[in-house]
């Protein structure tokens, strides 16, 4: 395994048989690791968490402009929290098409108080 000690902790970047891939992962993660942050995950699209945040931000703007009441936003927030807890914030939103049991899982999940 290709590894390097950064800030006193050993970080692994890939197997011996893929030195180019390991080198690229090191270059991609180096800045975050040297700053003491968890490296960002490369994404190939919009995640469920990103989508929910955009939706809630848009709805909050409606509350701020007086076009929607705060209680409705809180209901949206609770519902979005349930969606994220079932699908996971890091799941690509497009991949939910491949998750046919989603609506049933949402319906059977306990509602938060």
Check residue 60 and give its pLDDT: 92
Give the pLDDT band (50/70/90) at residue 19: confident
Q: Which two tokens stand for residue 2?
A: 């290709």
Give the domain ranges of the chain. 2-34, 48-108
Q: d(Cα 88, Cα 44) in Å, to the nearest integer?
A: 16
* 19, 5 Cβ separation under 8 angstroms: no
pLDDT higher for 102 or 75?
Answer: 75
Q: Is the pTM of this model over 0.75?
A: no
Q: For the segment 92-104, what is each residue's pLDDT rounded down to a tens digit?
A: 777 666 666 666 6
Q: d(Cα 39, Cα 29) in Å, to the nearest integer?
A: 5
Check residue 109 and give its pLDDT: 61
Q: For the segment 21-74, what is each residue's pLDDT rounded down to a tens digit?
A: 888 888 888 888 888 877 766 667 788 888 999 999 999 999 999 999 999 999
Q: What's the rounded mean pLDDT across residues 81-88? A: 83
């Amino acid at each position: 395994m290709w590894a390097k000690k950064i800030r006193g902790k050993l970080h692994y970047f890939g197997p011996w048989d893929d030195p180019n891939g390991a080198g690229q992962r090191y270059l991609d993660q180096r800045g975050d690791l040297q700053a003491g942050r968890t490296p960002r995950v490369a994404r190939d699209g919009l995640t469920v968490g990103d989508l929910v945040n955009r939706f809630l931000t848009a709805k909050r703007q409606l509350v701020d402009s007086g076009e929607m009441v705060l209680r409705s936003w809180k209901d949206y927030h609770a519902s979005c929290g349930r969606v994220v807890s079932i699908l996971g914030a890091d799941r690509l939103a497009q991949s939910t098409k491949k998750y046919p049991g989603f609506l049933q899982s949402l319906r059977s999940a306990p509602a938060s108080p």
